[in-house]
């Protein structure tokens, strides 16, 4: 009888080399035992399905085609990140998922009832990592964060994983060097370990390795605006860059590029101002090549209490919810820096796939909470 798709079997036989076979070998069967047969036909055929259908059946879709190599590459990315931080002397830590304070702004918070009080799903572990860095020096965590962004782009999820790090006694330049070393390390480690999976995805491994050759280029935000204007983009000084602008920058440099020294008004309250130009902050975004957009956001942190309070007032932020964060300056601080890496976007770039919903086992998007 013909076996249905997704029937589980146990076979014995002789394995012989056969260069004509996709795997390079062929199994000549001696015995075959059926372990389990599906009660219904597998709903995902080899023909094309809509993205909505596939996401509705994500629990089954992940068994098929390129989904398996993508998830194996995801595993390799996580392991490479942890190996990198361990080799650099970082301490692994955690940040709470439920918080009473915002890092990135109040408009993208998921609010929850916490025994009659307002709480929020964490947007970032940064503030807590800063506290931990004052005790342990160099710390990192890899964990889920939540943004209530009503975005339907191929680069946005409402729940996604970040690799975040904070480092005592690191200045802005130290921060960028660490970030580029991390990206280069991860890409080289994954392309070494997952050659077969990348081949299944038809990904050009040599191109990836060329893209992460150190150092990465740096460009001042103002110079980036001019470059984009010269390329025909309608962009002015003080504007955020969208996907088309990021794609142009990535194409221009052909590898990850740091955009640095943003105007103060464009960035959050916790970033340190540039002493050479107080209208700018010591911050940088790492833009990925091939149109994959912002991979990392980072900065040197404001370590002076007065400076930090002044910047919070400029942003019209209440001080009370952040008193514990201000204590990190009141009771002794050091120069320190940090960053956050979007793991899903990094995986999408390494895999060469167009939408980050495929980079996580069960994506959470606008209007998608199932399965």
SS (H, E, C) the chain: CCCCCCCEEEEEEEEEECCCCCCCEEEEEEEEEEEECCCCCCCCCCCCCCHHHHHHCHHHHCCCCCHHHHHHHHHHHHHHHHHHHHHCCCEECCCCCEECCCCCCHHHCCEEEECCEEEEECCCCHHHHHHHHHHHCEEEEEEEEECCCCCCCCCCCCEEEEEEEEEECCCHHHHHHHHHHHHHHHHHHHHHHCHHHHHHCCCCHHHHHHHCCCCCCEEEHHHHHHHHHHCCCCCCCCCCCCHHHHHHHHHHHCCCEEEECCEHHHCCCCECEECCEEEEECEEEEEECCCCEEEEEEEEECCCHHHHHHHHHHCCCCCHHHHHHHHHHHCCCCCEEEEEEEHHHHHHHHHCCCCHHHHCCCCEECCECCC
Q: What pLDDT was estimated at residue 217?
A: 99
Q: What pLDDT was estimated at residue 336?
A: 99
Q: Which fold has domain 51-359?
A: BirA Bifunctional Protein; domain 2 (3.30.930)
Q: What pLDDT was estimated at residue 276?
A: 96
pLDDT digits (tens, 9 = 90+) for 243-272: 999 999 999 999 999 999 999 999 999 999
Q: What pLDDT was estimated at residue 169?
A: 99
Domain spans of the chain, in order of start: 1-42, 51-359
Tell me: pLDDT of 84 over 90: yes
Q: What pLDDT was estimated at residue 251?
A: 96
pLDDT digits (tens, 9 = 90+) for 189-199: 999 999 999 99
Longest Cα separation, the chain:
78
pLDDT digits (tens, 9 = 90+) for 337-368: 999 999 999 999 999 999 999 999 999 999 89
Angle, to 10 degrees, between the axis of helix 67-87 and the axis of helix 343-351? 120
Least confident of 98-107, 144-153, 204-213: 98-107
Tell me: pLDDT of 105 over 70: no
Q: What pLDDT was estimated at residue 360?
A: 98
| Mean pLDDT within 278-293 | 98
| Mean pLDDT within 176-187 | 99
Alpha-carbon distance of 289 to 279, in angstroms, equals 29
Q: How confident is the model at residue 104 (pLDDT cuts 50, 70, 90)?
A: low
| Mean pLDDT within 128-155 | 95
The mean pLDDT of the chain is 96
Under a CB-based contact definition with an 8 Å cutoff, are residues 194 and 359 in contact? no
Q: What pLDDT was estimated at residue 131?
A: 99
Q: How confident is the model at residue 106 (pLDDT cuts 50, 70, 90)?
A: low
| Mean pLDDT within 141-149 | 96
pLDDT digits (tens, 9 = 90+) for 2-58: 899 999 999 999 999 998 887 789 999 999 999 999 999 999 987 889 999 999 999
């Amino acid at each position: 009888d013909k076996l249905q798709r997704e029937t589980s079997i146990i076979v014995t036989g002789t394995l012989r080399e056969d260069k004509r076979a996709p795997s390079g070998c062929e199994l000549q069967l001696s015995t075959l035992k059926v372990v389990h047969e599906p009660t219904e036909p597998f709903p995902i055929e080899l023909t094309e399905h809509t993205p909505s259908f596939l996401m509705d059946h994500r629990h089954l879709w992940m068994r098929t085609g390129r989904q398996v190599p993508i998830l194996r590459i995801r595993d390799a990315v996580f392991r490479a990140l942890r190996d990198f931080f361990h080799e650099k002397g970082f301490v692994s830590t955690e940040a709470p998922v439920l918080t009473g304070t915002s890092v990135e702004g109040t408009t993208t918070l998921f609010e929850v009832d916490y025994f009659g009080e307002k709480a929020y799903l964490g947007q970032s572990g940064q503030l807590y990592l800063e506290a931990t860095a004052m005790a342990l020096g160099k710390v990192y965590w890899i964990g889920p964060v939540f943004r209530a962004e009503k975005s339907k782009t191929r680069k946005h999820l409402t729940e996604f994983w970040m690799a975040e790090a904070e480092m005592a006694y690191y200045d802005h330049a130290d921060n960028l060097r660490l970030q580029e070393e991390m990206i280069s390390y991860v890409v080289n480690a994954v392309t070494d370990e997952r050659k077969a999976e990348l081949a299944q995805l038809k990904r050009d491994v040599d191109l990836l390795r060329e893209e992460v050759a150190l150092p990465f280029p740096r460009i001042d935000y103002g110079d980036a605006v001019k470059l984009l204007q010269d390329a025909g983009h309608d962009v002015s000084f003080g504007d955020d860059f969208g996907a088309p602008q990021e794609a142009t920058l990535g194409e221009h440099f052909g590898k990850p590029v740091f955009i640095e020294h943003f105007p103060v008004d464009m960035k959050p309250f916790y970033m340190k101002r540039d002493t050479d130009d107080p209208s700018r902050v010591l911050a940088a975004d790492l833009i990925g090549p091939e149109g994959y957009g912002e991979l990392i956001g980072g900065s040197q942190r404001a370590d002076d209490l007065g400076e930090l309070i002044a910047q919070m007032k400029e942003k019209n932020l209440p001080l009370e919810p952040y008193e514990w964060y201000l204590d990190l300056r009141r009771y002794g601080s050091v120069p320190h820096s940090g960053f956050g890496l979007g793991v899903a976007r990094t995986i999408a770039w390494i895999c060469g796939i167009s939408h980050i919903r495929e980079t996580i086992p069960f994506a959470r998007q606008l209007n998608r909470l199932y399965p």
